[in-house]
């Protein structure tokens, strides 16, 4: 069977009010004692599989969860075990799952890569959970005849995850889940939105199995999730409404795990960076493919855009303080203290992501990806028939933006204000501090004052068009390649096109970061003369970066693969 549920973290400030609604007369409280199993090197977890034996009231149930859409839906198989046999194994400390029960079941394909006999021998109990679960059945009472079939189970869990070999290592559990028991999936999302609004809940994709794995590896959060186009599920016959849903879903696979880590307390720069990239990719898809679906809500973009901007501002300053400043000091720069600048930021990434309007938008986007595209008016129109036109139109916009910027008095005097996008880790962490063209920089030169010139609007337009074109090309190219699968030349052209776009974006992003660092050090120098060193250093960087940027933009502008 397929389990469809939404999980949230509960802020402490709203817990008492939530508990009053959870513990009504009709609710039930159950103690859940679960044993989770995997190989010592967590092969099941790596394959996205969770395996447990749990006492649910008076019964012992073996459960495996696997697959699904990566967001709210997962395959689940439950088997009730013999209580006496379980108790005997518990007494002898030999309780282990029985993998033979999964032959010829819906979860069998998820285990296909494993040899079950070998896997069974390698299984060990890695961690246990001790949870008090409060459940309440929520029924649609809006009045129509069919509504009585709409049921959602609310489950509030409070307890601990405990290391399987060291019970002194524990992690608290405090989360609420909404699972569709029967009926229309729209009722699940309507219910979740109501509770989310009332109690400021924050979506979380972190399962108990994942949290247990983090506990035994002594990690606070899972690594940041990067974009993965291999998970983009499209084929040549996909309709326009289905295509845009697939693109949004692919973005959410990057957004949700990183936002979950941040609301859970992660201050890792990479979580913020990958969340920012995911939101930027999502914005590009919603803008470019808006005409592909009648169900796209125009209110989404006005919420996503400022959230991304807040994320980017905080992340850039944090990276400056934690990476750029130490690197400069290694090359002889005087110390510059950025602590007060960090403290001056009123909104942290956690604040921005926990905001109720952003969380509600995420819920609506998940609901959109899970809605039926065949019910839309354009369900009979193939995406492949419109993609080339969409890309050609976007390429024309980019060409116009490049021409407008080049038509200015001097391209080299303009700020190419490119916001950070799909950067590799080393792009952010390296500032090429050993470049020979920086050796003779005079950090007190008057030229530093003139590096920040005008035309921000033109530069912003260039960045926006380039970013949009790159991301929608990544979504579309696999489909266009399939259309031209017999034309190797066309396939090579599309790959070369993406290569040009990626290189141009990389240089523009590097230019933007160096410009931002230069501006911050220049502004800081008004109250701290030590900052002049950094301002001069990055002023020299901009001269070199701009030449590379012009060269790569020219290749993009000359390309005609989608015309």
Strand partners, 180: 152
Which of these ranges, 233-237, 284-288, 489-493, has the smallest mean pLDDT?
Answer: 489-493
The answer on pLDDT for 358 being more than 80 is: yes
| Residue 228 neighbours by CB under 8 Å, 6+ apart | 250, 253, 254
9: its two tokens: 């973290």
Range of lowest pLDDT (297-301, 347-351, 470-474, 476-480): 476-480
**Residue 364: exposure state from Cβ atoms within 10 A (0-12, 13-18, ≥19):** middle
Among residues 505, 468, 480, which one has the least CA distance to residue 290? 468
pLDDT at 422 over 60: no
In whole angstroms, how far apart are CA 408 and each of 411, 503, 544, 550?
6, 24, 19, 14
Inform me whether the pLDDT recorded for 411 exceeds 60. Answer: no
End-to-end CA distance of the chain: 46
Higher pLDDT, 99 or 551: 99
- Residue 261, token pair as written in the block: 């880590």
pLDDT of residue 280: 96
| Per-residue confidence (pLDDT) for residue 488, from 0 to 100 | 58
pLDDT band, residue 144 (cuts 50/70/90): low
| Spatial distance between the Cα atoms of 170 and 31, rounded to a whole number of angstroms | 18
Residue the block writes with tokens 């469809």: 4
Cα 20 from Cα 135, distance rounded (Å): 13
Residue 210, CA atoms < 13 Å, CB-side half-sphere: 16
Collapsing DSSP to helix, strand or coil, 64 comes out as: strand
CB 150 within 8 A of CB 180: no
Count Cα neighbours of 452 within 13 Å in the Cβ-side half-sphere: 15
Residue 2: strand, helix, or coil: strand
Token pair 């839906």 is found at 73
| Nearest in space to 139 (alpha carbons), one of 148, 126, 128 | 148
Torsion of CA 232, 237, 240, 242, to 10 degrees: -50
Among 194-203, 248-257, 410-419, the minimum mean pLDDT is found in 410-419
Q: In terms of Cα–Cα distance, which of 268, 278, 169, 263 is closest to 223?
A: 268
pLDDT in tens, 64-83: 998 778 888 888 999 999 99
Beta-carbon count within 10 A of 317 CB? 17
Contact 99, 119 (CB under 8 A): yes
* 28 phi/psi in degrees, rounded to 5: -130, 145
Closest CA to 79 of 64, 62, 55, 65: 62
Say whether pLDDT at 127 is over 70: yes
Confidence of residue 143 (pLDDT cuts 50, 70, 90): low
Buried b (16+ CB within 10 A) or exposed e, 457-470: ebbbbbbbbbbbbb
Percent over 70 (pLDDT), the chain: 87
What mean pLDDT is predicted for residues 537-559? 83
- Is the sign of the CA dihedral 73, 366, 472, 317 positive or negative? negative
Q: What is the mean pLDDT of residues 356-383?
A: 97
Asked if residue 117 lies in contact with residue 150, where contact means CB atoms within 8 angstroms, the answer is: no
Longest Cα separation, the chain: 85
Q: Concatenated DSSP letters for 212-256?
A: HHHHHTT-SSPPPPPP-GGG----TT-BHHHHHHHHHHHHHHHHH
* Burial degree of 273 (CB within 10 A; 0-12, 13-18, 19+): buried
* Mean pLDDT (whole number) for 101-112: 89
Which residues, including other chains, have CB under 8 Å from residue 340's CB and lie 6 or more apart? Answer: none
* Band (413; pLDDT cuts 50, 70, 90): very low
Task: Name which of 389, 378, 355 is nearest 245 in CA terms.
Answer: 378
Q: Above 90 in pLDDT, residue 156?
A: yes
Q: What is the pLDDT of residues 309-357, one digit of tens each?
A: 999 888 888 888 889 999 999 999 999 998 888 888 888 999 999 999 9
Over 108-175, what HEC string results? HHHHCCCCHHHHHHHCEEEEEEEEEEEEEEEECCCCCHHHHHCEEEEEEEEEEEEECCCCCCEEEEEE
The band of 145, judged by pLDDT with boundaries at 50, 70 and 90, is: low
Count the Cβ atoms, other than its own, within 10 Å of residue 444. Answer: 12
Alpha-helical runs (H) found in 339-444: 339-344, 349-354, 356-370, 384-406, 425-429
Distance CA 525, CA 515 (A): 15
State pTM to two decimals.
Answer: 0.86
Task: For the beta carbon of residue 74, count every other beta carbon within 10 angstroms.
Answer: 21
State residue 344's pLDDT score.
84
Residue 492 or residue 373, greater confidence:
373
Determine how many CB atoms are found less than 10 A away from the CB of residue 390. Answer: 18
Which pair of tokens denotes residue 121?
A: 């021998």
Task: Report yes or no: 275 and 262 within 8 Å, Cβ to Cβ.
Answer: yes
How far apart, in whole angstroms, are the C-alpha atoms of residue 174 and residue 480? 46
Tell me: pLDDT of 230 over 80.
yes
**Is there a contact between 438 and 508 (Cβ–Cβ < 8 Å)?**
no
Spell out a b/e string for 421-442, using b for 16 or more CB atoms within 10 Å of the CB, else e.
Answer: bbbeeeebeebeeeeeebeebe
Bridge-based pairing of strands 170-182 and 28-38 is unpaired
291 sits in which H/E element:
none
**pLDDT of res. 29:** 94
């Amino acid at each position: 069977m397929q389990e469809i549920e939404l999980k949230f973290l509960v802020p402490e400030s709203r817990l008492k009010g939530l508990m009053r609604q959870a513990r009504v007369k009709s609710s039930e409280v159950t103690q859940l004692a679960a044993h989770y199993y995997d190989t010592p090197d967590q092969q099941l977890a790596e394959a996205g599989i969770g395996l447990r034996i749990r006492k649910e009231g008076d019964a012992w149930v073996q459960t495996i969860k696997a697959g699904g859409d990566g967001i709210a839906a997962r395959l689940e198989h439950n088997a009730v075990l013999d209580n006496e046999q379980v108790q005997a194994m518990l007494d002898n400390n030999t309780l282990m799952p029985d993998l033979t029960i999964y032959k010829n079941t819906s979860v069998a394909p998820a285990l296909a890569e494993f040899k079950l006999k070998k896997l069974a021998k390698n299984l060990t109990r890695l961690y246990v959970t001790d949870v008090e679960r409060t459940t309440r059945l929520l029924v649609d009472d809006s009045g129509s005849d069919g509504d009585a079939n709409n049921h959602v189970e609310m489950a509030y869990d409070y307890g601990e995850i405990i290391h399987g070999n060291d019970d002194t290592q524990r992690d608290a559990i405090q989360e609420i889940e909404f699972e569709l028991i029967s009926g229309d999936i729209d009722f699940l999302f309507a219910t979740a939105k109501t509770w989310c609004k009332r109690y400021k809940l924050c979506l979380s994709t972190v399962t108990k199995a994942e949290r247990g794995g983090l506990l035994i590896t002594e990690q606070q959060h899972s690594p940041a999730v990067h974009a993965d186009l291999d998970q983009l599920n499209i084929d040549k016959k996909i309709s326009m409404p289905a295509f845009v849903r697939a693109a949004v879903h692919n973005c959410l696979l990057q957004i949700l795990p990183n936002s979950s880590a941040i609301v859970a307390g992660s201050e890792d720069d990479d979580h913020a960076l990958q969340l920012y990239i995911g939101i930027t990719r999502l914005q590009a898809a919603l803008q470019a493919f808006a005409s592909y679906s009648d169900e796209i809500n125009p209110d989404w973009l006005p919420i996503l855009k400022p959230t991304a901007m807040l994320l980017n501002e905080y992340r850039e300053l944090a990276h400056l303080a934690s990476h750029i400043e130490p690197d400069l000091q290694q090359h002889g720069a005087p110390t510059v203290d950025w602590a007060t600048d960090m403290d001056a930021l009123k909104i942290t990434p956690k604040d921005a992501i926990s905001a109720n309007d952003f969380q509600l938008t995420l819920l609506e986007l998940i609901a959109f990806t899970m809605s039926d595209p065949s019910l839309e008016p354009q369900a009979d129109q193939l995406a492949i028939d419109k993609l080339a036109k969409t890309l050609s139109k976007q390429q024309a916009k980019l060409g116009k933006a490049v021409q407008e910027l080049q038509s200015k008095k001097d391209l080299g005097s303009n700020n190419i204000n490119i916001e950070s996008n799909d950067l590799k880790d080393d792009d952010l962490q390296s500032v090429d501090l050993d470049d020979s063209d920086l050796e003779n920089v005079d950090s007190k030169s008057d030229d530093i004052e003139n590096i920040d010139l005008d035309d921000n609007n033109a530069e912003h337009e260039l960045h926006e068009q380039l970013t949009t074109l790159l991301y929608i090309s990544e979504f579309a190219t696999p489909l266009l390649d399939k259309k031209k699968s017999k034309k190797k030349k066309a396939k090579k052209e599309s790959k070369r096109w993406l290569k040009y776009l990626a290189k141009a974006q990389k240089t523009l992003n590097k230019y933007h970061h160096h410009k931002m660092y230069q501006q911050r050090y220049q502004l800081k120098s008004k109250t701290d003369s030590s900052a002049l060193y950094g301002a001069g250093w990055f002023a020299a960087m901009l001269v070199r970066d701009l030449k590379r940027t012009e060269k790569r933009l020219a290749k993009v502008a000359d390309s005609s693969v989608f015309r």
